Amino acid sequence: MTVPSEPTATPPDAGELAAQAHSSGAPTQPRRWVLHIDMDAFFASVEQLTRPTLRGRPVLVGGVDGRGVVAGASYEARAFGVHSAMPMWQAKKLAGFSSVTVRPRRAVYVAASRRVFDIISRAAGVVEQLSIDEAFLEPAHLQGADASEVVAWAEALRAEIAATTGLPSSVGAGSGKQYAKIASGLAKPDGVHVIHHATQQEQISVLPVRSLWGIGPVAEAKLHSAGIRTIGDFAALRRADAVRLLGQAAGSSLHELAQGRDDRPTAPRKEAKSIGAEHTYPQDLTTTAHTDEALRRAFDAALRRFRKDPRGAKTVTVKIKLSDFSQHTRSATLPHPTSDEDVLWLQATTLVRYPADVGPIRLVGVSFSNLEHAHQQVMFPELDRLLVTTRQEHQLARDAERAAEWEAGMTMPQPAPTDASGAEGGEDAGPQPTHEWWPTRDVWHPDYGHGWVQGSGHGVVSVRFETRTTTTPRARSFAVDDPLLEPADPLDSLEWGLGEREIAAALAAREPAEDARAGHSDEDPGDAVPGREDRTVGEELPEG
């Protein structure tokens, strides 16, 4: 907990303030306090909460295949330099053999978020929720309070969240949203930090310019090229220079924030109508391989934001801009909303256009829209067919394009496909499992209860049996075709006795694979301008 000291001058009493206001003819304004709460390493913290064996270990949440990226990392993993959006292979290399890679369990995160924000709403009243794990607050009863009162309130809120959910959080406070956001970053992990009104410019002026909310790597690079390293440097610029460097919208608003002008109200946000990302390239894309890489980059950036929204998407849109600045946009709408990465990715791959067809490409973007809270209990048959037929058809077309480019000396051939064990071909490897036992999948056994898969191979699956309340986890091994071992509902790992609202929210976010125990399908699942409600394009703010 960090609380900068109050100004040393003796504060005037109420009578003096009233006299000053009367003599000046100006009404007094109560001191404003905006707070920003951010759950610490939320995805990884939920995994460590529900799987006690993972506590104290480097946990990497995200895609487990060759193209996966880190959606969240525990602080133990961050100590090795791991961060959100990093390629998973790189994160594993940094974190070492002691790290554990966990597939995201969206329904569990949404249920945990719902419980956290129920606590926050009761305490603060109006909440401006930014994502699944962070929000701005402006409690009316803190208007005019001093820093010590704000700290006491924030600590009480964090204590209630920790006692009720077992999850850590950090809170920052300041005179506006920008200062509150910066303060919460300074409070991490698991603390409170207050930026006092009287010394706020002094405190933030020495911070790196990247600390300013809305400055991402692209804007940071532009500012660094102009010799701007700190928030103070940026604040000292002329407004015209800030606009020249970052553009009219971003440059103007960010410059005001750097100078301490932030009167944006705290209010419930409208739900985004679409979520996406796009990237412009300094050199035109002229090959299928480079276009595929650009598509994957845009898709992964959009997916990171999408994972922080509890809704599913029905429509996938791919946008490309050509070297002549003409724009091509193609969309496809699914029969049901989904948050399944494979389904969304396959849709994106069917929509992209290639340089051989349209000419050199300078921009590639992906967005998800028609966002709905939908009870997604099964892998709908039409989506299942889409996964099979689209993958086959698109791979054939992609292979033909890559082969043509390879023959022309433009790209290298791709490695031969492998089966689930990593061996080429489909040679029989022994007993075939009734279900797919991927690592970290939730399972249930009548003799041992709820657990998760630690690994499988050679006809054997190893399981760690534990939940949030477990004090002594048990490890057991079974034949992969053991009829008593079943896929389980990930929500059971919380053991909270979820209420109706939490269940509804979790079901809306549930992945198809999470319903397998109930007899369903066994399938598996640019810089932002502060204050802008449309979050479809911009750089991801890292998970707390």
Catalytically active residues, by annotation: 134
Question: If you count DSSP H runs as helices and E runs as strands, how many of each does the chain have, helices first?
Answer: 17, 17
Query: Cα–Cα distance between 260 and 240 in angstroms, integer?
Result: 18
Spatial strand order of the sheet with 70-73 comes to 70-73, 59-62, 100-102
Cis ω before 417 (30° cut-off from 0)? no
For 313, which DSSP code?
Answer: E
Per-residue buried b or exposed e for 114-145, using 16+ beta carbons within 10 Å of the residue's own CB: bbbbebbeebbeebbbbbbbbbbbbbeebeeb
Alpha carbons within 13 A on the beta-carbon side of 528? 22
229-233: which pairs have CB atoms within 8 A and are 24 or more residues apart? 230/205, 230/206, 231/204, 231/205, 231/206, 231/207, 231/258, 232/204, 232/205, 232/206, 233/209
**Rg for the chain (alpha carbons), in Å?**
26
Instruction: Residue 180: name the closest of 159, 204, 158 by CA.
Output: 204
Q: At what angle do helices 239-246 and 217-225 cross, to 10 degrees?
A: 130
Q: At what angle do helices 500-509 and 106-124 cross, to 10 degrees?
A: 140
